[in-house]
Each structure stands twice: as C-alpha cells, then as structure tokens.
Structure 1
C-alpha cells in the first residue's frame, strides 16, 4: 500500500536535520503477537513513524514486524527510549535495542525520563551524544524533561535534545512552554493525546461535527496544525485507520484558537 503523506518537521542531528513524521504509532502496552500484528497493520495502512522503548518489552516483535513488512528502511522513522535506571549502561542498552529491532541505527533515541542522582542526566546525555556521533542514533532527545532540565544538559555539554516527548493534549496546551521549547530548538512531541482529553467537550464536538470527523481526529489534527509530533496508540485496525485519516483534516484558525483555549 502506498504510504500516506504525513507532514514532517526537521529534527537536529550532528550534521544537519532529519525529518520526523508528525503522526506516529505509539506502542506502549502492546506486547507479543498483539504488538506484531499492530505494527504490521499500521505499516500496511501507511504509518512510517514507530515509537517504542526498552521498558515496553516489545522491541523484538516490532523488529520482526518491520522486517516482515517489506517497507524500505529509508521510509521508516523508529524511536526507542533508554530507562533512567540504565545509567552507566547506555551503550549496552542501545545495542540490545538495535539487535531486537533488527536495525543498524534508530532514527531517534530518547532518555525516557530524568535519571536520579547528582548529574545523572548529564552523564547519560553524554553517552547519547556519543551514540549520535557514532551513527547508532540519527537524532537524540529526551522525554518528560522541563526546559530547566534541558538547560542543564546544554550548559554541561553544549548540545541540546532534538525533541522533548511529554504528555500533551488540548487540555495541556501551554503557549509559554511551547515557546520555551521552540526558543531552544527543541521539537515538542506529545503522548497520551486522548487519555488527557475530554473527547465529549462541546468545543471538540462542534469542530468535529463541522468537518464530519470524530473528536479524536480533531485532537490529532490540532497537533499537526501546530507542528507538534503526536503518537497515539491503538491496537485496533479501524482506529489506526481513523487516526491516520486525521492527516486530511484541515482545521481553520478560529477552530485552532478555540481548541487552544481548552488549556486555559
């Protein structure tokens, strides 16, 4: 099946940028055969951005699904994450992920959340930069970091993350945080877009009805319009298809503004 054209934004790399599709597939809680079937279905539908993590325990199944799909590696954007308790074991953790995913590099490697202990984040980040420079991860970033924590990494190493993956939805919308990340050259990537949203909110219902769409599609289209990366998760083929269809939903500026206001 021909891949759907999903808009992209550039992520900083060691020597330029790499495009990341704004809409991807989150795989948290998908395990075993379910994870394999979900990724195969998503790739058949046209998804090209897959998000996993060491702690998800599904990298083997995702790697097998990618290999069996026949999709060219150059078309894929694969993210995985390193748990904070692997401080001091970063290199081994990434190599295990690469073996399980059957890849020679990931497109994005994230610190899953800040390690505890004095200078733990900086020490882990230093190993991430080495992995990037060695070509084992095209881009590197963080998850669940504040701008202040990002500043600590930059101050210590001179290099900041390409992306910050955080909980995000219309209800979380914070223009100040958006601008703080943008000013640092950090792309905002949101997870749990539906879990954190009242999908029955009258504003979302009104916009959805105006477009003949679902409120979930409106939430995704809102992310895309802002240039936020979003990785909704589902194991149901019909939901995967519906989420991907949100790419075609073009919201008006006044609709975006009304949805922004849900974060007030």
Structure 2
C-alpha cells in the first residue's frame, strides 16, 4: 500500500512548495495530494500551479479557487484577500484558470476522505467552528480517515463508537499512530502560510499500512517570498504573516 504525502494551502508560495515537494520525494512518498488553496495571498500563482502539475499532485478545490469562479464567492473574502484574488486572475493563464475552477471539492483515495474545509465536501467551513460538536461532523461521512486543511493550523480529532468525538488533540512533530477501530480527522496545517506558531512549511505523510501520520516541518527561504510579495505590491500583512 502506498505512502501518501498530504498537504494544503500553498498559497502561491513557490519557495515553500518546492521545498515540501523535494522533502516528500526524499521521504519516498508514492502519491501527492494538495487539499486546496494553491493560490491567494502569495506572489506566484502561475508558478505554484505549474509546479503542482509538474509534480503530479492531485489538487482539490479550496475557498480561494472557489473565489475565482464568480462574485458570489468572492464576497466571502475580506477586501485585501479579494483584491489579491483579482490580481491572481490577471496573473494566471486561461488553461490554469480552467484547471483551478474545475477541481473537485472532495475525494476518497485509499479509504481516506480528503477535503479543504469540513467534511464531507465544504471548501469554506472551518473545523474549529465545530470543536464542541465534532460528533455531528463525523456523522456526515463514512470513511475511517479524513484529512482537511483551511485553518492553516494543526489538529486532529478521533471518534470512538459509543463514546463520541474527542476534543481537539495535538498533532505533534514526528509519528502519530491513529488507533485502530476508531475514526480519525486530521488537519494537516499549511505549506505556504502556517499559523501554528512555527513558520516552517507543514505537510504530513500517511502510511496506509500502519495508519501512521508523520508531521513534516520543512524550512524554506521566507525572505525570498516576502521580497516578491513586496515587489508585486501585495498587502504587507501577507508578508508579515510568514515570519
């Protein structure tokens, strides 16, 4: 059975994404999945999409991809983020635009559900909005394992039959064995704009045989991305977040 590299939220940060993809290759990942938000905030949307496709990464739709579709979805963003998405549309070619807006909202591979926001298929609903009622979330889908992004944070939940869902659990560095007989939901953090107190790019490896999740924290050239954000006139706040 394969080892899956599962990442989310590159946000047009090519310096971070390229290091994550290189690390996944070094770790022997067999298949690569990105849970959405290839674009937004960052300065290199076209290059980021090119890199994902060249590496054979399966990309899902995130809320930033959905924001490209029409004004209805764009209204859900704050003004700076919406302005960057408008710029993003000007910076990507037509083929890339069509690819982004046609991404699936969820998929199931090797018994694992994958989604950007909250399962079964929401691209915009944040997991932390359900932390006091995760049993309801687990009731929405059937798979034993689920991986999500969107929050830019790291967390996991378990569901034990008869006992309900756990409170939020940490996803520590290194290996975490997902206990057999339970159901598990893992938030994999962010590649391009982490918000978990550690500025390294994050992704996980999932061993489909041992059901082990390994959190990988990858350093990258933050200054290079910051310089490009400034050079392209994007909001300074999106650069400051990277530090």
Fold conserved between structures, TM > 0.5: no
Which gives a bigger RCO, structure 1 or 2 (Cα 8 Å, sep 6+)? 2
- Normalized per residue, the structure richer in strand is 2
- Normalized per residue, the structure richer in helix is 1
Larger-Rg structure:
1
- Taking structure 2 as the reference length, the TM-score comes to 0.42
- Taking structure 1 as the reference length, the TM-score comes to 0.40
